[in-house]
Amino acid sequence: MNSFAADVEALAKRVRGPVLTPRDEGYDTERAGYQLARWHRPDLVVGATGAADVRAAVAFAGDHGLPVAVQGTGHALAGTAGEGGVLINTSRMTGVRVNGRARTAWVAAGTRWDEVIHEAAAAGLAPLSGSFPGLAVVPYTLAGGLGLLSRRYGYAADHVRALDVVTADGLLRHVTEVSEPDLFWALRGGRDNFGVVTAIELDLVPVTTLYGGSLQFAGELAAEVFDTYLSWTATVPDEMSSSIMQMSYPDLPAFPEALRGRQAVHVRIAYAADVLDDAESLVAPLRALGPTGDTLGVLPYTEAGSIHADPPFPGHVEAGTALLGDLDTAAVRAILDQAPPHAPLPHVFELRHLGGRLAHPPAVGNAVGNRDARFLLNVISRLERAEITEVRPAHKRMFEAVAPWSTGGRLLNFMNGEDAAQQVRSAYDPEDYRRLTEIKAVYDPGNTFRLNHNIPPADDREHDRRAGMAPATVPVTPAT
C-alpha cells in the first residue's frame, strides 16, 4: 500500500461518513448532483456527517496539498465542477432548529429549504427561500439568495446572523459580525472561497400566506405579454415579487397536448403583503391579456414551490445569466428575436424582477454586489434536447442581443455557463472584489478552496492593507 492509500485508510477511520476513491463502489453516487452535465472528479470524496468530518477532510487535503470542493445538492455543478482534490459532500449534514421568539433558524450545511419552510411554518414564520425548495440552504444563501420574498426583505445573505465554518487551517470558527467581521462580511456573498460552512443561523420573517401562482399565455402573445409585464413591474409595490418565463415544450406525451411542440409564456407571482386584499386588483392588468391557465390565489408559504414548479429531477442543463437595467419594448424585441419560434434555442428563458429591498444595502454589510440591477435574465437549455455545440452559440447570441441593457454584472447563484470561471468578478462591485481577495489571502493564502467560482488571494503587494485583518488566533468555539 502506498502512503496516500494508507493515509486515506487512516482518514476513513477518523471520519464517520464514507471516504471513497474513484476505485471504490459508491464513488459515483457520492459525487452525483442534480446537474448531470458536469461532475466533480475528485481524488477522494468524503460524505461528511458533521463538522468533525469536515475538519478531518480539510486537514487531510492540507497535509497532501490538495484543493477542496464542497457539494450540497449539486445544482451548480455546471459552473463549479472540478478535477482532483477532496470533495466534501454535505448532504448527510441536515437539521433545523427554529427559535420562534428570536425569529431565527439554525440550519446544518446540507439541509434543503423544504425542511426549513416546514419547521418555520409551525412558528408562523418563513425563510427567505428561492423558487425551488429542493435547493440546499447554505450554498444558496452564501451566494446571495434571490427568493420569493426578496423584493420585500432583500437577499437571504442579508439576513445571516452567524456561521460555523471550517477554514483552510482546519479550524472550526463561529463567525459573527463581532467575532470575525471581515470573514463574516466575505462569507455572505463570497460563498465557498473562505471555508466549508457547517451551519448557519438565519433570520425568519413573519409570513404565513402569499397571494401567488402563475398565469399561462399562448406563445403567440409573447410580445404583448412581455411588454405589459414590463410596464406593470414599474407600478407594483415592493411586496410583489414576480418573473416572466417563456418555455418551449418538447413534443412529448408527458406534456399537455395543447402545449406539445409549442411555446408558452408564464408570469409567476408571489405577493407577500401583510394584507392581501388588493392582490386581485394588482394582477388585473395581466389577467386582462387572456391567460389560458390561471393558478393565482392565496396559498400557504409551505406551497410556495408550486409557483415556479421547477423540475425536481436531475438533468443535463446548460445555463447562462445577465443582470439588466430598465427594459423597454426594444429590449423585449431583442430577447424574443433570439428565442423560439424565431430561433431554435434556448428552451427556457426568464426575467426575474429585482429592485425593492434588493436595491438597498443590508443592515450589516456583505459582499453581495450589483444591487442596482432591475432584472435578472436566465437562459436555460436541456442538453437532452440539443447539442452543446448549438446551445452555447445560441445563448451567446441572446446575451449579445441584450448587451445594450446589461449592467455588466451577474448573480453568483445563476452563473453556470462554461465561462463561469471568467465571470466571477462580475458578481461583485470592484472595490468589494479587491477586499474579497485580501480576506482570501488571510484565511486561505494557498487557495485550498479553488474548485469553485474562484476568488484568488491578493498577492504580497497587498500585504500592508491586510495587516489589520488577522484572523482570530483562538477561534471562538461554536455554541451550537
In the complex, the residues that contact ligand FAD under the rule CB under 6 A are 33, 69-77, 80, 90, 109, 130-132, 135-136, 138-140, 142-147, 191-192, 196-197, 310, 413, 452
CB of 318 to ligand FAD, least distance (A): 12
Q: What angle do CA 307, 271, 142 make, to 5 degrees?
A: 70
CB-wise, 121 or 175, nearer to ligand FAD? 175
User: How many CB atoms neighbour CB 239 within 10 A?
Assistant: 24
CB of 209 to ligand FAD, least distance (A): 19
CB of 37 to ligand FAD, least distance (A): 12
How far CA 186 is from CA of 149, 154, 237, 412, 424, in Å, comes to 23, 17, 31, 14, 14
CB-wise, 324 or 401, nearer to ligand FAD? 324
CB-wise, 140 or 226, nearer to ligand FAD? 140
Kindly report the backbone phi and psi dihedral angles of residue 301, in degrees, each rounded to the nearest multiple of 5, phi listed first: -60, -25
Closest CA to 438 of 462, 461, 454: 462
CB of 34 to ligand FAD, least distance (A): 6
The residues, any chain, with a CB within 8 Å of residue 150's CB and separated by 6 or more, are 128, 156, 241, 356, 357, 358
Closest CA to 152 of 258, 274, 264, 260: 274
The residues, any chain, with a CB within 8 Å of residue 107's CB and separated by 6 or more, are 95, 96, 116, 137, 138, 199, 200, 201, 202
Cα separation, 77 vs 430, in Å, equals 26
CB-wise, 130 or 340, nearer to ligand FAD? 130
CB of 408 to ligand FAD, least distance (A): 19
CB-wise, 137 or 398, nearer to ligand FAD? 137
H helices, E strands: number in the chain? 16, 17
Cα separation, 262 vs 220, in Å, equals 9
CB-wise, 27 or 140, nearer to ligand FAD? 140
Closest CA to 404 of 319, 307, 330, 298: 330
Question: Could you tell me the three cell numbers for 317?
Answer: 442543463
CB-wise, 167 or 228, nearer to ligand FAD? 167
Q: Which helix (H) or strand (E) holds 214?
A: strand 209-218
CB of 88 to ligand FAD, least distance (A): 8
Amino acid identity of 375? F
CB of 159 to ligand FAD, least distance (A): 13
CB of 101 to ligand FAD, least distance (A): 27
Cα separation, 247 vs 382, in Å, equals 11
CB-wise, 334 or 428, nearer to ligand FAD? 428
